[in-house]
Amino acid sequence: MIQVEQTPNPDSLKFLSQKILSKVGTEEFKKSNLNDIKIPFIKEVLSFSGVELVLISDNFLTVKKEKNVSWDSLKPMIISHLNDYFEKTEDPILIDNKIEKSDDNETIAKIKDVLNTKIRPAVARDGGDIKFKSFEDGVVKVELQGACSGCPSSIMTLKQGVQNLLKHYVKEVNSVEAI
């Protein structure tokens, strides 16, 4: 069964599944990269008229649509596509293993730990994700994904939430910027 939740971004909806959707964590896919995407399910959803991006996490899928498209037609198509997928297989949509680099210094390790344990779960509740990109000269650069991408409240979340938490737990952090 698929449940649908609103996100703070009116152009994004979160589709929750009782099945595991991803074995490799959270990944975002954009329509602009459609030719590079190898996963049939993702390609099909991104091919729906009006879909801009798809974010897949362990047990949810967030879809961001174009402003001029209505959820009335898009929402049932996405639910049907998810149900159809799991009628045919029990396999998660994302199953490929990736090897993460482990050459992080201690400060970056602390930043990633705070992002993963304190920030990502909250952002995931709103249908999004936050990915660490870099840390240099006191500035943490992150990428907001899913419902957070282009959300009107994302800058406030970034500055008042993410930046404050990181500055509190990691003294080397001065500011946080989205890329």
**Alpha carbon distance 54, 92 (integer Å):** 15
The number of C-alpha atoms within 13 Å of 96 and in the hemisphere containing its C-beta is 6
CA torsion angle 70 73 75 79 (round to 10): -170
- Residue 129's CB is within 10 A of a number of other CB atoms, namely 26
Q: What is the CATH number of domain 106-178?
A: 3.30.300.130
Residue extent(s) of CATH 3.30.1370.70 domains in the chain = 2-88
pLDDT tens profile 44-72: 999 999 999 999 999 999 999 999 999 99
pLDDT tens profile 90-110: 899 998 654 444 445 889 989
Structurally, what CATH architecture does the domain formed by 2-88 represent?
2-Layer Sandwich (3.30)
The number of C-alpha atoms within 13 Å of 86 and in the hemisphere containing its C-beta is 16
pTM here is 0.68
Residue extent(s) of CATH 3.30.300.130 domains in the chain = 106-178
pLDDT tens profile 134-178: 999 999 999 988 888 777 777 777 878 899 999 999 999 999 998
What pLDDT sits at residue 104?
58
